[in-house]
Structure 1
């Protein structure tokens, strides 16, 4: 039952993701959450490191979309320098806007990856449409109050996930 909340992969940050390997495995699109995945939720614009990372990912051959549950002003302002397809008020874990983003960047379930920091929105949403999901450790501790409430439960799910991964690794 908990498996529906398990990510395909779990890593410390977006910088730890091997984008070249993903591309070599056939992935062509990446849906990124913004807040606490790319930047702290109170950072208005992407820093140069994020801008450079997006350029590097595009050079590999990926199409990128931002998919955020945040409001239009937040997402539009953040996307000014990135200039990628972006969805605000995505209502994750509902799947409609994840599908819309994939359609916009011309990818499908088999070749799209979703990267986010929250299990109950990002990972569960991606898992519901059966795309690869990568959970990253949240960038900052400062978060919206509703997110803070969910983090304790998320910690238990991550613990169960890591236990499963360790168990599977010991079988091989």
Structure 2
């Protein structure tokens, strides 16, 4: 019960992921949430850490595709200068947007992972699409008003899952840290 909320991996940050780490797991494409995963939700542009990380992925030929519930305009204003492909209005926790991104990338379920900061959207969407998930700590502790609702329920669920040993209390630095 509740295994659909269990992430495959839990990491401190998306920026801890290296191309070598991803390739060791057979991951050829990274799907990622936008707000509080790649950038702080209240910061429209990225950081130098993000730029460095994206360059590492590009050098290793690992495409990064944003899969977000945000509007096209919101994502495009961030993604266009970085030349990042994206799926807007992804309808997470449903797997619709994830599957759309996978189809565009031409990959199968074993070659991709979805990275995000929420159990109730990102991890559930990964499970819905039949792919692996990487749960990361949110970049900032504050949230947009609509995410605060998810965080309230997520806090209760995390406590329950940790009590049942379905969710670790520890965050890793590498995928093999489980």
TM-score, with structure 2 as normaliser: 0.85
Structure 2 residue runs without a partner (length 5+): 169-178
Distance in 1, matches of 2:10 and 2:25, equals 17
Q: For 1:101 and 1:94, how far apart are their aligned partners in 2?
A: 13
Q: Deviation at 1:139?
A: 1.1
Q: 1:124 to 1:52 in 2, by over 3 A?
A: same
Q: Is the 1:6–1:157 contact (alpha carbons within 8 Å) kept by the matching residues of 2?
A: no
| Contact 2:158/2:167 (8 A) holds in 1 | no
Q: Check the 8 A contact 2:15/2:50 in 1, yes or no.
A: no
2:166 aligned with 1:164: yes
Within-5 A mapping of 1:1-172: 1-162=1-162, 163-164=165-166
Q: Cα distance, 1:148 vs. partner? A: 1.1
In the TM superposition, structure 1's runs of 4+ consecutive aligned residues that sit over 6 Å from their partners are none
* Alignment root-mean-square deviation, CA: 1.7
TM-score normalised by structure 1 residue count = 0.88
List gaps (5 residues or longer) in structure 1.
167-172
Q: How far did residue 160 of structure 1 move?
A: 4.3
May I ask how many residue pairs the two structures share in their alignment?
A: 166
Give 1:25 shift.
2.3
Q: Is the 8 A contact 1:6 1:158 kept in 2?
A: no
**Residue-by-residue CA offset, 1:77-128 (whole Å, 9 max, x unaligned):** 0102221211111111121211111121222211101000111111100011
